[in-house]
A and B are shown apart, each in its own frame.
Chain A
Amino acid sequence: MATFPAQFAALEPYADWALPSEADRYAKRLASTMPELREFYDAAMPLLESEADYLRGVALDGISDEDLNLLRCLQALVTVSFPVEAWHQPYVPDSGAASIDVTVEPRP
C-alpha cells in the first residue's frame, strides 16, 4: 500500500519524512546528515515543481490519507530546504543554544 499518490512514487523511499508535527520534522532534520538532507531535497523538489497543479487541487477538508501523507512530506521539505539552500548544515548558524518550539499548529 503506497504512502503517497501514484505520481509521487519517487518519494516512497522518504516516507519516513511524512511526520505529523513540526517538532518531529524539525528534530529529524537536526538529526540528519547533509547528504541525507540533500538526497531527500533532490528527490522532492522536482515533484513540487511538476505537480504544483495537483497540489492546488487538493482540498484540505476531507483530505485523503495519501494526500495527507504527501502534505506532511512536503512540509518536511520546507524545513529541509533551509539547510540545503541557506545554511549548508542542519542547524541554523549562530543559533547554538536557542530553541523556538511550536505550541499551536493547524490540522491538517
Chain B
Amino acid sequence: MSPGDLYPRPEEGTWTEHYPDLGTSPVSFHDSISPEFYRHEQDAIFRQAWLNVGRVDDLPKQGSFFTKDIVAARTSVIVTRDGAGVVHAFHNVCRHRGNKLVWDSTPTQETRGFARQFVCKYHGWRYGLDGACTYVHQEDEFFDVDKSTLGLAEVACEVWAGFIFVCLAKQPRQSLREFLGPMVGALEGYPFDAMTERYSFRAENASNWKVFIDAFQEYYHVPPLHTYQLGPNNRDPNLTFEGAHYQLDGPHRVVSTTGVQKHKWPPETMYPSEVLLRSGNMGPWDAHDLDRDLVGINPGGVERWGIDNFQIFPNLEILIYERNWYLSYRFWPTSHNTHVFEADLWFTPAKTARERLAREYAAITVKEYALQDCGTLDGTQLGLESEAFEDYPLNDQEILVRHFHKSVGDWVDAHRRGLGDESMAPR
C-alpha cells in the first residue's frame, strides 16, 4: 500500500503486478479497429464462448419464446420453453429452404411471444417447441423425407442463476459452469429471482464493442466524466477514484467499490430529487429485505461495500448493488466499429407508487450517465482508427481493461492455433 492509498493493494504493490501475465506496458487497441480482427473474434469468441441471451423471466411460461439475432455469430437463435418447462435453443432457420423461421413483420428484427408451435411463413412447415418437425406441407411431393431428421438445428443452451446462455460451438468445450468458473459461479445462489421488476434500454453505438465495455470496467473516468453524479455542493475538481478490490478468474474479472452508500449521506450533498424520491445512481434507498443469503458478492470482503461489477467474458456485465438490486449489460458487435448495447435493470417489485418512482428514478439515472459514456464513443473510435499512435498507457485502476483485451487476444490466438480450452480455464 502506498501513502495516500485508500485501500490495501496486493503484496506486489499494484493490482496489475499481482497478475504477472498481464504486464504493465502500454497496450495496443488494434483489436478494436481492425475488420480482420473482428472476423477472427466472430469465429474464436462468438461462435465458441457461452453467450448470455436472456433470463428465465423472458420465458415466463410453457410456450414462451424469443429470438435473438447474433450478428457477431452470423446467426439468429430461437429460445423456447417447451411444454415440460425445458428451455431450448435452436438456429432460427427452417429445414426446408433456409428461410428464417420466427419473425414478426420484419425478418431482420427480433420478436418474442407465446406459441404452441412455429410455422414457417413460406411453405407452412411446422416445428414444436422442442424443435421437432411436426408437419411438412404436401409431404407426398417430397422424396423419402423423414420428418424425424428434419428438426430444428439445436444450439447448446444452459441456465445459470436464471440467466440463459447459449453456445454456438457444435461441441462446446466447457459446460456453462466450467466456463463461468468459481469466482462468477459463487453468485449462483444470489437472489436474482427476487428482483423481477425490469427496466430495459437498447442503443446502437458507433464504436467497437470492446471500447464501450472498457468504459464500464474502470471507474477512473467517473470523477471527470460523471462529475454531475455528485450534487452541486459536493463536487471536488481533484476527486480521484480507487477501486477497493480487483480480481481476475480466467477470462472473467470483477471490481468492487465502496463508500457510495448514498442513503447515508447528508441531503445537502445530493440533488433535490434524489432526496425527495429517496433514490439515485446507487438505486432506491429503501432496499427490500431479502431474507436470503447474499452469496458470491464482495469477494474481496471490503468494508462499506457499494457495488460489485462482474465482467463475464465475452460481453456480459452484471452489476450488483448494496441496495439489493442489480443490472446486466450486454454488448453485441454488429461490425468492427458498431455494436448494439442492451441494458436490463432489475429491482424487487415496487409495492407502492412511491417505490415505483424510486425505481424509475434509478433507471433513468443509469440511462443519463450511460449516455455520457456513450457520447464519447464515436470520438474514441475515430481517434483509434486514425492510428496516430500504436499503443496507449493503462494505469493500475484500468487493470480490467488490460485483462479484457489480453483475454480477447488469447482466445483469438488460441483459436487460430487450434488449441483446446485448457489454456483458457479459470485458475
Residues of A within 8 A of B (CB): 91, 93-97
Contacts and interface: CB of A to CB of B under 8 A. Distances in A.
B386 interface: no
16 contacts: A91-B105, A93-B105, A94-B105, A94-B107, A94-B121, A95-B105, A96-B103, A96-B104, A96-B105, A96-B106, A96-B107, A96-B108, A96-B109, A97-B106, A97-B107, A97-B108
A14 to B, nearest CB: 27
Contacts of A91: 105
A62 B108 CA distance: 48
B234 to A, nearest CB: 49
Interface in B146-195: none
Contacts of A94: 105, 107, 121
A91 B104 CA distance: 13
Nearest to B109: A96
In order of increasing CB-CB distance, the 6 nearest A-B pairs are: A96-B106, A96-B105, A97-B106, A97-B108, A94-B105, A94-B121
Interface residues of B, number: 8
B119 to A, nearest CB: 12
Interface of B: 103-109, 121
> Chain A binding site: helix, strand, loop or mixed by DSSP?
loop
A9 B66 CA distance: 51
A96 B104 CA distance: 8
A95 B105 CA distance: 6
A96 B103 CA distance: 10
Nearest to A92: B105
Contacts of B109: 96
Contacts of A96: 103-109
Contacts of B106: 96-97
Contacts of A95: 105
A97 B107 CA distance: 8
Contacts of B108: 96-97
B349 to A, nearest CB: 35
A63 B106 CA distance: 42
Contacts of B104: 96
Given A91-B105, A96-B109, 14 more contacts: A93-B105, A94-B105, A94-B107, A94-B121, A95-B105, A96-B103, A96-B104, A96-B105, A96-B106, A96-B107, A96-B108, A97-B106, A97-B107, A97-B108
A93 B121 CA distance: 11
Contacts of B103: 96
Nearest to A91: B105
A96 B108 CA distance: 8
A83 to B, nearest CB: 13
Contacts of A93: 105
A96 B106 CA distance: 4
B377 to A, nearest CB: 26
Nearest to B121: A94
A74 B324 CA distance: 63
B158 to A, nearest CB: 32
Nearest to B106: A96
A88 to B, nearest CB: 13
B340 to A, nearest CB: 17
B25 to A, nearest CB: 47
Query: Which interface residue of B103, B107, B109 has the most chain A CB atoms within 10 A?
Result: B107
A95 B104 CA distance: 10
B99 to A, nearest CB: 11
A90 to B, nearest CB: 11
A30 to B, nearest CB: 13
